[in-house]
Amino acid sequence: MGHGRGAEAEAADGEEPALQPCAAKKVKLELKERKEKKQKVDEDEIQKMQILVSSFSEEQLNRYEMYRRSAFPKAAIKRLIQSITGTSVSQNVVIAMSGISKVFVGEVVEEALDVCEKWGELPPLQPKHMREAVRRLKSRGQIPNSKYKKIIFH
């Protein structure tokens, strides 16, 4: 074992890297530029958000705070997942699942608000809005459903 490793190591040391030095430098520079550009775009975004938030009414601020802060209780999510798998899951799994679940809620609520508005009605959202929203999201493939096809009455 020792012999083989020694020979390989020697051979590797003698080789040039696959890219020529100046080509490698170019790639490195490009990556750096792209990263800087992305940072600038992010900074612009942050600035714009700050301007927007600073112009919010009190009601809008309240809603925005709820939008940012609302979250599923980690313990309950963990319990739910573990009750399905029967094994334990990592903290990252709970974080990921809670996160995408919140996005999911947002998609349903926003769709339901569209439905509500389209029907010339007002919040609070009613079950019929929620159900219609789900129907629409399902037809766009945005709701996972690996069960048998159910017949849905319109």
Partner 1 sequence: MADEEEDVPFEEDAEDAGGGLDGGQGKRKRLFSKELRCMMYGFGDDQNPYTESVDILEDLVIEFITEMTHKAMSIGRQGRVQVEDIVFLIRKDPRKFARVKDLLTMNEELKRARKAFDEANYGS
* Contacting positions for partner 1 (CB under 8 A): 62-73, 76-77, 80-81, 84-85, 87, 89-90, 92-93, 95-97, 99-110, 112-113, 120-131, 134-135, 138, 142-146, 150, 152-153
Give least dist CB 38 to partner 1, A.
Answer: 13
User: Rounded to 10 degrees, what is the CA torsion of 86, 91, 94, 99?
Assistant: -170
Give least dist CB 63 to partner 1, A.
Answer: 6
Give least dist CB 6 to partner 1, A.
Answer: 36
Closest to partner 1 by CB, 25 or 131: 131
One-letter amino acid for residue 32 of the chain: K
Closest to partner 1 by CB, 5 or 149: 149
Nearest one of 107, 98, 95, 106 to 142, comparing CA atoms:
107
**Using CB atoms within 10 A of its CB, is residue 1 exposed (0-12), middle (13-18) or buried (19+)?**
exposed
Question: Could you give phi then psi for residue 19, rounded to 5 degrees?
Answer: -90, 150
